[in-house]
Amino acid sequence: MENELIKQARARLIFPLDVSSLREAQKWVKALAQEVGVFKVGLELFVAEGPDVFQMIRDESEADIFLDLKFHDIPHTMKRAAWRASVHGVDILTVHMLAGRKAVKGCVEVVEGGTQVFGVTILTSHTRAELMEIGYAPELCRDLKSAVMRLAGLAYRVGCHGVVCSAREVSTVKEAFPLLRTIVPGIRPEWASSPQDQVRVATPQEALLAGADYLVIGRPIREAQDPLEAAQRIIQEMAQALKEIET
């Protein structure tokens, strides 16, 4: 049972390759290949290296590939980009729900090969004041959970496989839409550094107990004196939370 829980925890751990070169990304993939279930490719690395990074991840690990570009454009452009990402064999890609029903639904409809589309709700860096400034309705700015739920509901209706949300909203999302998978960024173990540019954060245990399916954990591993030991410590914490869920 213990080994199975560790295996499950690893499968749920997403490590963001927030670096600017293929060589540096490869260093991290090699170092963490046995502990990380999903490697995330974001804007910086993809702009720097393009799709070559996908092959590198496949060569160096058995982990899934998460392309986190948060597509937000006109429907035709998003649809073509989503299809191309699926052709490259990415396992998960993100679209921003603010792109609207037609654009997001088009992405869901065209992906191939088992690629899953996750809708981004409200970024964990956003505050109420920022949402007000960019034009959100005052009632949604006062209650970020309502804003997240509005977008999660749209994601569910257009067929997204899951959503990206903070740990503060994940339990409500899972209660309302149990079939939606959830990716939760902004995860910080109690022993890790400060959250910096993310304001809605939680520990791995808190997020999993709330219903998170995947945890995005970068800085607590990357900035540790011993990144491998930090990843293993996080996995132990995740496994303990999964044990609590099972019992």
Closest CA to 15 of 222, 232, 168, 247: 222
Indicate if 70 belongs to the active site: yes
**Using CA atoms, how far apart are residues 86 and 198, in angstroms rounded to an integer?**
29
**Using CA atoms, how far apart are residues 177 and 217, in angstroms rounded to an integer?**
24
Q: Which of 70, 79, 105, 174 is catalytic?
A: 70
13 pairs with which residues across the strands? 215
Token readout for 76 is 């035709």
Instruction: Provide the total of helices (H) and of strands (E) in the chain, helices listed first.
Output: 13, 8
CB 153 within 8 A of CB 130: no
**Using CA atoms, how far apart are residues 235 and 247, in angstroms rounded to an integer?**
18
Distances (CA, A) of 38 to 16, 24, 241: 9, 17, 19
Buried/exposed code over 31-44 (b: 16+ C-beta within 10 A; e: otherwise): bbeebbbbbbbbee
Distances (CA, A) of 39 to 56, 77, 168, 218: 11, 25, 24, 10
Which residues are designated catalytic?
Answer: 70
